Structure 1
Amino acid sequence: MTSAASSPSSAGTPGERVAPPPADLVARLRAAGCVFAEDEAVLLVAAARDAHRGTPGVDPGHDGPLEALVERRVAGEPLETVLGWVAFAGLRLGVGPGVFVPRRRTELLARTAVRLARAAGPSPVVVEACCGVAPVASLVAHDVPGADVHAADLDPVAVGWAARNLAGRGHVWTGDLLDPVPARLRGSVHVLVANAPYVPRAAIATMPPEARDHEPHVTLDGGPDGVDVQRRLLALAPTWVRPGGWVLIETSRGQAELTRAACPDGWTVDVLRDDDVDGTVVTARRPT
């Protein structure tokens, strides 16, 4: 059993010195199938202590808060939602039960959005559709001062986490694709970006239990070939993206050509790949 987003060893604080976790806790996590049991145990112990730091008389040990966290993890809940956060591109983003946990592969999408937003000028308009907890919008808001950042998602629970992660540095909207985004932005978006669901429907059953049993299927299900939601969003791009602007879509290596084929006619299309994070992104630029 791996974590939903990444090896938990990438989620800690670089250089942080921590005491070895209890051996029985490591054994329990390993028996439950946690591949990185030692790293997870360290993080769970720290989370239990942080939750009750400064509370006299509270024992964060096995009969207290730590036990509750361990029970959730052993039952298969993603480590990140048990902890309440996920490491993403140098940020610590809040997550909770019932939301899609950002994967490390999406860092390619986020870094590309930051690069293109910076190149667009002093006040770029960036919209993250199907935002979930808004990992891309949060990185843009953090790294591109002056950007006009918007994030939209169909799920009110995810939108609540997106608002927390953006912390007032952007606008968050609830609704399908771009329906809730203010109409005044039509034709003015510099970067439209999305990690829209792209798992072929039949493949969901083969996903790790952390995903298929604990993340909403609407965040995974891309239709029969995995590209249905992408096609719907890309069909809207000419209405929203300004001349010279971009649309960025995360996809998989195997589906990249399907995503490319769904891009608007006449746009310049490319496929980006980062093997270090196993990320694939299709970029399409509207002609000027």
Structure 2
Amino acid sequence: MPTVIDRLRAAGCVFAEDEAALLTEAAAGDGQRLATLVERRVQGYPIEYLVGWALFAGERFAIEDGVFIPRHRTELLAVTARTFIHSGHTVLDLCCGTGALGAVATRGREGTRLVAADVDPAAVACARRNLPHAEVYEGDLFDPLPEDLRGRVDVLLANVPYVPTAQIAFLPEEFRVHERRAALDGGDDGLRVLRRVAAEAPRWLARDGRLLTEAGDAQLDAVHAVLAGSGLTPTTVTDPETETSVVVGSMSRTIYP
């Protein structure tokens, strides 16, 4: 009789041993539940949804079906943001998903005000579980935010969907089939949502505020142009190991009178 590891390995799970341990943990001694979890995993269901959490920067974050699964590559965005976040700062996490990015970016920064927002009700529910001391709002980008944030955001995290529509079909099945399309699809060139964020960002950023976003290598010039067009000064931080790039848009004092 095949073991859990054997079944997972036969289904193509690269880390069959690790996944078997996670599924066994999630089943909590219930053999029938374990069998169900293994069967769903073999069918291609993301393991994060099966165990109820996703790992990001060494921490577990609660997640629900369909909610965007935080990627290892996005840890560069959190690490970069941390270099700009200091005690007493206000941090805004747009398209927050589980809230993992905002949580890691502000970890250990005492007195930080963390505000998060997402249009997906399931994501908002997860973020509220993962960010018990933050303000989490449901709505489209800046729409649900309190007015007192205007001009006070020191760091704006914008991990917006940036996959061009035509490339969605080439994503791994786990993401393409199970995650909500709105969390992936960035429009024709992948920058549809970023353009909306960048257009409004100067009204919300503090004088020395910064907007940080992740982008594909082929998009970097276009992202720089989008941010520059909104009066932000763009620079790029790249991690060759993960082939990830983060673009930082800094406020220009000339925006202010």
Query: TM class, shorter-chain normalised?
Result: over 0.9
> For 1:173, what is the secondary structure of its paired residue?
strand
Q: C-alpha distance in 2, partners of 1:148/1:112?
A: 18
The answer to whether the 8 Å contact 1:141/1:170 transfers is: no
- Note the residue ranges of structure 2 that are not aligned, 5 or more in a row: none
Counterpart code for 2:72: R
Q: 1:39 aligns with which of 4, 7, 18?
A: 18
Q: C-alpha distance in 2, partners of 1:30/1:203?
A: 28
Q: 1:123 aligns with which of 74, 85, 88?
A: 88
CA shift for structure 1 position 81: 1.1
CA shift for structure 1 position 129: 0.5
Counterpart code for 2:219: Q
Q: C-alpha distance in 2, partners of 1:23/1:165?
A: 37
Q: 1:48 aligns with which of 19, 23, 27?
A: 27
Q: C-alpha distance in 1, partners of 2:26/2:15?
A: 17
Superposition pairs of residues 215-230 of structure 1, within 5 angstroms: 215-230=179-194
CA shift for structure 1 position 36: 1.7
Superposition pairs of residues 150-229 of structure 1, within 5 angstroms: 150-167=115-132, 169-229=133-193
CA shift for structure 1 position 102: 0.2
What do the CA deviations read for 1:44-102 (whole angstroms, capped 9, x no partner)?
112212xxxxxxxxx533xx221121122112111111111111112211112111100
Q: 1:60 aligns with which of 17, 21, 30?
A: 30
The answer to whether the 8 Å contact 1:107/1:277 transfers is: no
What do the CA deviations read for 1:113-143 (whole angstroms, capped 9, x no partner)?
222112xxx3101000011111121113432
Q: C-alpha distance in 1, partners of 2:207/2:2?
A: 59
Q: C-alpha distance in 2, partners of 1:48/1:230?
A: 40
CA shift for structure 1 position 241: 0.6
Sequence identity of aligned pairs in percent? 45
Q: C-alpha distance in 2, partners of 1:276/1:96?
A: 29
Q: C-alpha distance in 2, partners of 1:48/1:151?
A: 32
How many residues end up aligned between the 2 structures? 252
Q: C-alpha distance in 2, partners of 1:106/1:200?
A: 18
> For 1:70, what is the secondary structure of its paired residue?
helix
TM-score normalized with structure 2 length: 0.93
Q: 2:54: which partner in 1? A: 86
RMSD of aligned residue pairs (Cα, Å): 1.5
TM-score normalized with structure 1 length: 0.84
Q: C-alpha distance in 2, partners of 1:35/1:47?
A: 19
Does residue 257 in structure 1 map to residue 211 in structure 2?
Answer: no
> For 2:72, what is the secondary structure of its paired residue?
coil
What do the CA deviations read for 1:183-222 (whole angstroms, capped 9, x no partner)?
1111111001111000010111111111011000000000
Counterpart code for 1:70: V
Q: C-alpha distance in 2, partners of 1:270/1:220?
A: 24
What do the CA deviations read for 1:199-249 (whole angstroms, capped 9, x no partner)?
010111111111011000000000011111111111111111111110001
CA shift for structure 1 position 23: 5.5
Q: C-alpha distance in 1, partners of 2:26/2:234?
A: 44
> For 2:246, what is the secondary structure of its paired residue?
strand
